[in-house]
Structure 1
Amino acid sequence: MNTSVKKAAPISLDSLLDDVSTPKRHRPIAPGSSTGRASNLSSSPVPLNGTPSRPIAPGPSRLHNSSPANGSPSTPSVPFASRANKLAVQESLNGDLDLPTSSQRIGDKPRVLLSSTTDPSKYNYRIAYEKPMERSEALDKQIDEAAEAFRDYYGLDDFGDPGAQSQEDIMAIGRLCPESDNAKMTETSTWLESSRMLGSGSRVLLKFDADMKVRNAPPGSGGMGMFAGCLVGVKGRNGGGKLFAVNEIWMMPPIDPSYTRPSEILDREHGEGIKKLGGNPMSVIVAAGPYTVDSDLEYAPLGALLENAEAERPDVLVLLGPFVDAEHPLIKVGDVDQSPEDLFRSQISARLATLLRASPRTNVILIPNGRDMTNAHVAYPQSPFSKEGLGLPKGVRCLPNPTTFSINEVVFAMTSVDVLFSLRNQEFFRKCGEAHDEENVVEDPSNKDVMARTCRHLLRQRSFYPIFPAPLGSKTLSPLNLDITHNELIKMGTSGADVVILPSMLKHFTRIVDSTIMVNPSFLTRGESAGTFARFTVHPMAKSELEQLSTDGGDEMMEHRVYERCRVDIVKV
């Protein structure tokens, strides 16, 4: 069971449904501050009460044999039945780590413990009943919480009202907004909206100074990407009362990593018995729909994926919707002779039952999509599938969209909404210099990578969907029914995930961003062609290190360092 700090006591999903130290992380010092803070974090410098003594600055970010920086979608044209290079690895992260051996795939008893703090009942809210005041309060709360994060991380004391006339520089916190809900932000049409507590809820037009600098951006990024809904800090003045001249823009602080006691990791990774790994690696397969080609509803790609899962016998198989897709060409024109529930039972539930009979140790998790016809809840955040009527076998867990859960100590977070495409479409990049509180900052060439920057938006904004208002639908992207009054359910939490899964129509990729593994497994099918899925192999920490930390180290909380010991393969189905 995961015991990451700042998290509620885990709820068992059953009831709901090598030896290296942690890299040093640097924390900025607020300009003008006379006192600094500790600048590094070892593998176990956390008080016994489980709460880190300070927020953590971003860890390493890397690219690994991945897709082009522009994230352009691939356009294969080979029919699924004629596909070549089946199960070929398209790219790998930490490819030097070994895959599970055949002997490690033997055994029918479950080897991992699944846990989650998700309460499914919170997702069964009434759709389209947002009240204006509740909506306003939810938006205000986002800004006020961002201000607390800035205050704690940067050591700031006070914030000003950006709409008030002033001849001196002030620091203001707010949400970036376009000229209108349907417009895209530009250099000359970006507004800042403050909360009622921080700035009377006013909006003010921003003017970016020619020599504006960005603070807390990755070294070498060359500027800052901005989008509607982005929470930022701005430093400058409103001299005439009509616009706010920005001389410095501050990014949201990085999210804290997750922690677990070494003794618990040691027990789960090296212990013997049920739901223990016995020193062997853990395996996870993740795929996102559609699960059948456009020309039929035979679900051959899903069958191929499950055949591979039956051979590999993973500890966990995660399937993200859509399953019975409302946008499927045959369903849209009514050329189908089964109800959505019957189609789900015959093509999906039956196949999952076959898999679980062949591999009883595999845990299956289903996460819906807004296009799923067998889920009546079409707003986002979205409630989980109801197992009643779908014929799902025992061993299948249904979780909401988005969701965060733990497999042993490893924290996974994922959503089936294509937030990456929306961010890339809505973002505009402002080139500017960088303000650093430390000398001799080393620039990382990967910090200019577009997809890494897009992933960093999600981590820094602490949200699975930080865009507001949600963009209108298009030919390539379905509209999103975003319920902002339930924004609490799309937050990433106070401590970050080790692995974040974000299926997108953009080309598949793997990244390490701020010590978090970010993966776009793409879709299992693209039209008539074969798509891809992701395979994770998480190796255990060194037993000797865990034993030493659990005894001599006082069993203090430690980071998971999954980015060092997890191999990720993007595989063609």
Structure 2
Amino acid sequence: MGIAVRPSHISPPARYIRTPTAPFPPNLCVNPRERNCERARGRERERAMEEEIKAMFNESGFTLDEAEEEEVLRKCFTFCINYKLSPSDLVSSWDVYYLNRLLTESTVQNAEMDGFLLHLQNEVKEAVIKEEPNLHVYSSKDVDMILNNEDEYSKEDDIGTPTHRSNLSPEQSDPMHQTSGKAYSSGKASTLITPFGQRTEKFVVRFSINRQSGGENGKMEHDVESSEDDFIKKVQPHKRCSLAINGTKPEPGCRFMYDRTEDRFNALENRIKRHESALVASGLYEEPVDPTLASQKSIFSVGMICCDGEGHLNDKSILLQSSVEHSSGQCVRLDLQRLGQFSIFPGQIVGVEGNNPSGHCLIASKIIESVPVNALADVFPPPAKKQALEQEIASTDPASSSQELSVIIAAGPFTTTDNLFFEPLTELLAYARRKMPQLLVLLGPFVDAEHPEVRRGSIDMTFDDIFHQGIVGKLQDYVEYLGDAARVVLVPSIRDANHDFVFPQPGFDILPLGIKHQITSLTNPGTFEANEVKVGCCTVDVLKQLSGEETSRNPKDGIPSDRMSRLAYHILSQRSFYPLFPPAEGIPLDLSLAPEALHFSLVPNVLILPSDMKYFVKVVPLGGRIEGEPQAKCICINPGRLAKGEGGGTFVELNYRGTPDSASASVIGI
């Protein structure tokens, strides 16, 4: 094959012909020297503006990292050009970004430039929306709606979806649509159908105890809305219950995370002494002695279970640390080979009967895990607590029925992971409006720090604004709807992004709302009395943490004990909301703040322990193992989580009638 050659008579294309009348392109007409001069003048203007930006940063108290100064100034100059900002406006925006991100260093670093750019973009968007309120900024959700031929103005609203906004004013509902990149950016009500709104059954009984209608526990599932003999109706719902808060420490705004080794030592020593006093006061045990001394005869000692290493507790690594008074805080190895069954964990205070023939190992013949019910060293509350009780009881309705209480209990998160619409909470409140319980107990987290949108930092609102608009605003509508008979108790969590990260934890400060008499904030942990029913609450997942640290031996007959009841029994027997020591990773335990807040003297009638483990409602007996010792019972409740991923979770509906055995409860899924 030959090579094709253009014939000589064919002219080249017209665009390649240069005629005298055709001008050169502009960039070819400019003198190269003039072009270089123009570039130099542009670079001088850029340097001048960068120097002005640097001066404004220095004037505002910020400095630039010398190693990254050139790169930071170049990006700041680009931001000024793209968003038409003066150097002073740019530094003012950086000041806002610096405060919102809670940055501690005054050095402007290149690593923060991407986040600062996102902040500037959000500011520009908010300014445009403010100037044109009816402007709709389209997002990926709008594109999905158009492609799926969804009607933006659908009239059929599903309760619990973002379209249900009757309880929020337009000023409250608009910002919630702008908190997430997955939500609509306009002020119009969204018709987005979320996975939570697509569930088939709204309220299904998952588990129940002492329920007159329905089959066996956990086997009867039906819609609670159609139940005509619901046990909640057997207590007059319109009668306001009495409410007394036991203790108010730690207080909001307290100074925390300044604990010392001495504070932790004193808190643990006081726990050991408290158990010693209670066991001796019962008259069933003799005065404890030093377990580290060699003795051929049987001895009785009290101490704390410890592990001799950093690994998991096992039969070979158990130590017993007695009090300073008896053993100067020294530890002795504890041998449990003679015991047919036991259940222990680090931090547990126990009484041990046994002998120590060598002085190096205490061979146990019996372990006393629980303090006798009839021998409490501190039955009477402190004077400050007693005054608070009398003042609160005096302000309540004296005609309220005692020892009868209808309550709905739910634990956060209260919104699904794909949005911040708080749909599960909306449906829970709609259910509570129909059932009208005397008390609604909500336990955190409310603004979950582990929510994907919160962790990404892509929210255009403060955490306090989300809490007040998404949570407190809905609760205020709820109590206004039901009237003065409705009462709500809020218990915070260390996972709340809008609250102090410390344990024990102060309650929320919601006094400016003027609804203190109906919406009450409790400490975490905390106890209260409603219609003389003693209730204890703790939102730290102590059940899950105890489950990971506990070591136990089942009876020789092979009958395993109920694990959930055993874990709850540890809380009651130790008289502590958090008996585990050292604390689990991530728990900000501060024993200098209010160590008495972790301790409770009297066995509560109801103990609420939210956990990621499976929900349950169990009557746990305490005491009565020794002849002549009274027995107490407590209803231990794990309501589960109201929201799980992109779907609904569970909550508990409880009716208490005098004693735990006569109470009835149901775990309801949504």
Assess same fold via TM > 0.5. Answer: yes
| 2:505 is the counterpart of 1:505 | no
Given the superposition, is the C-alpha separation of residues 370 and 406 from structure 1 closer, same or farther in structure 2, using an over 3 Å criterion?
same
The 5 A counterparts of 1:224-235 are 224-235=342-353
Choose between structure 1 and 2 for higher RCO, CA contacts under 8 A separated by at least 6 residues.
Answer: 1
What's 1:461 paired with?
A: 574
**8 Å contact from structure 2 (residues 272, 304) kept in 1:** yes
Given the superposition, is the C-alpha separation of residues 388 and 357 from structure 1 closer, same or farther in structure 2, using an over 3 Å criterion?
closer
What's 2:255 paired with?
A: 126
> Structure 2: which amino acid aligns with 1:99?
D
Q: 2: distance between equivalents of 1:533 and 1:125?
A: 32
Q: 1: distance between equivalents of 2:285 and 2:636?
A: 31
Q: 2: distance between equivalents of 1:520 and 1:224?
A: 24
Q: 2: distance between equivalents of 1:127 and 1:287?
A: 28
**8 Å contact from structure 2 (residues 250, 505) kept in 1:** no
What's 1:364 paired with?
A: 488
| Cα deviations by residue, 1:339-387 (Å, 9 ceiling, x for unpaired) | 1011112111211111112111110111100011221x22111100011
Q: 2: distance between equivalents of 1:257 and 1:569?
A: 34
What's 2:665 paired with?
A: 568
What's 2:199 paired with?
A: 83
- CA drift at 1:304: 0.6
The 5 A counterparts of 1:487-526 are 487-493=595-601, 495-514=602-621, 515-526=633-644
| 2:295 aligned counterpart, secondary structure | coil
What's 2:96 paired with?
A: none
What's 1:330 paired with?
A: 453
Structure 1 unaligned spans of 5+ = 1-77, 214-222, 260-272, 435-442, 473-478, 540-559
| Cα deviations by residue, 1:109-164 (Å, 9 ceiling, x for unpaired) | x5211112212455764222112222212111111111112212352222221112
What's 1:190 paired with?
A: 318
**8 Å contact from structure 2 (residues 539, 609) kept in 1:** yes
What's 1:536 paired with?
A: 654
Aligned length: 431
What's 1:113 paired with?
A: 242
The 5 A counterparts of 1:285-296 are 285-296=408-419
What's 1:480 paired with?
A: 587
Identify which of 165, 186, 206 aligns with 2:294.
165
> Structure 2: which amino acid aligns with 1:319?
L
| 1:412 aligned counterpart, secondary structure | strand
What's 1:470 paired with?
A: 583
Given the superposition, is the C-alpha separation of residues 164 and 124 from structure 1 closer, same or farther in structure 2, using an over 3 Å criterion?
farther
| 1:429 aligned counterpart, secondary structure | strand
Q: 1: distance between equivalents of 2:488 and 2:604?
A: 20
| 1:168 aligned counterpart, secondary structure | strand
| Cα deviations by residue, 1:161-186 (Å, 9 ceiling, x for unpaired) | 11122232211110000123x42210
Q: 2: distance between equivalents of 1:103 and 1:452?
A: 28
What's 1:409 paired with?
A: 532
> Structure 1: which amino acid aligns with 2:416?
V
- CA drift at 1:257: 11
Given the superposition, is the C-alpha separation of residues 226 and 82 from structure 1 closer, same or farther in structure 2, using an over 3 Å criterion?
same
What's 2:565 paired with?
A: 452
Identify which of 191, 210, 228 aligns with 1:94.
210
> Structure 1: which amino acid aligns with 2:598?
I
Identity across the alignment (%): 31
| 2:278 is the counterpart of 1:153 | no
Q: 2: distance between equivalents of 1:404 and 1:140?
A: 24
Instruction: Kindly report the root-mean-square deviation, in angstroms, between the aligned alpha carbons of the 2 structures.
Output: 2.8
| Cα deviations by residue, 1:545-571 (Å, 9 ceiling, x for unpaired) | xxxxxxxxxxxxxxx5x2132211111
| Bigger proportion of residues as helix | 2
> Structure 1: which amino acid aligns with 2:509?
S
- CA drift at 1:281: 5.7
Q: 1: distance between equivalents of 2:507 and 2:455?
A: 23
| 1:80 aligned counterpart, secondary structure | coil
What's 1:266 paired with?
A: none
**8 Å contact from structure 2 (residues 405, 438) kept in 1:** yes
**8 Å contact from structure 1 (residues 112, 407) kept in 2:** yes
The 5 A counterparts of 1:188-267 are 188-209=316-337, 211-212=338-339, 223-255=341-373
> Structure 1: which amino acid aligns with 2:608?
I
Q: 1: distance between equivalents of 2:423 and 2:577?
A: 31
> Structure 2: which amino acid aligns with 1:245?
I
Given the superposition, is the C-alpha separation of residues 509 and 250 from structure 1 closer, same or farther in structure 2, using an over 3 Å criterion?
same
| Cα deviations by residue, 1:6-58 (Å, 9 ceiling, x for unpaired) | xxxxxxxxxxxxxxxxxxxxxxxxxxxxxxxxxxxxxxxxxxxxxxxxxxxxx
> Structure 1: which amino acid aligns with 2:329?
G
Q: 1: distance between equivalents of 2:261 and 2:197?
A: 51
The 5 A counterparts of 1:339-354 are 339-354=462-477
Given the superposition, is the C-alpha separation of residues 481 and 106 from structure 1 closer, same or farther in structure 2, using an over 3 Å criterion?
closer
**8 Å contact from structure 2 (residues 619, 661) kept in 1:** no
- CA drift at 1:334: 0.9
Given the superposition, is the C-alpha separation of residues 461 and 363 from structure 1 closer, same or farther in structure 2, using an over 3 Å criterion?
same
**8 Å contact from structure 1 (residues 255, 462) kept in 2:** no
> Structure 1: which amino acid aligns with 2:339?
M
| Cα deviations by residue, 1:227-282 (Å, 9 ceiling, x for unpaired) | 000111122222223222223222223445999xxxxxxxxxxxxx9553569963
Given the superposition, is the C-alpha separation of residues 352 and 161 from structure 1 closer, same or farther in structure 2, using an over 3 Å criterion?
same
Given the superposition, is the C-alpha separation of residues 146 and 291 from structure 1 closer, same or farther in structure 2, using an over 3 Å criterion?
same
| 1:567 aligned counterpart, secondary structure | strand
- CA drift at 1:289: 0.3
Given the superposition, is the C-alpha separation of residues 131 and 433 from structure 1 closer, same or farther in structure 2, using an over 3 Å criterion?
same
Given the superposition, is the C-alpha separation of residues 344 and 465 from structure 1 closer, same or farther in structure 2, using an over 3 Å criterion?
same
Structure 2 unaligned spans of 5+ = 1-193, 214-228, 380-395, 622-632
- CA drift at 1:491: 0.9
- CA drift at 1:480: 0.9
- CA drift at 1:391: 8.5
**8 Å contact from structure 2 (residues 231, 664) kept in 1:** no
Please identify, of 303-312 and 447-456, the stretch whose mean Cα deviation from structure 2 is larger.
Answer: 447-456
Given the superposition, is the C-alpha separation of residues 482 and 106 from structure 1 closer, same or farther in structure 2, using an over 3 Å criterion?
closer
**8 Å contact from structure 2 (residues 275, 349) kept in 1:** yes
Rg: which structure is higher? 2
Please identify, of 146-155 and 198-207, the stretch whose mean Cα deviation from structure 2 is larger.
Answer: 146-155
| 2:490 aligned counterpart, secondary structure | strand
Given the superposition, is the C-alpha separation of residues 457 and 337 from structure 1 closer, same or farther in structure 2, using an over 3 Å criterion?
same
Q: 1: distance between equivalents of 2:475 and 2:516?
A: 7
| 1:92 aligned counterpart, secondary structure | strand
What's 2:34 paired with?
A: none
- CA drift at 1:507: 0.7
| 1:564 aligned counterpart, secondary structure | strand
| 1:331 aligned counterpart, secondary structure | helix
Q: 1: distance between equivalents of 2:634 and 2:232?
A: 26
> Structure 1: which amino acid aligns with 2:422?
Y
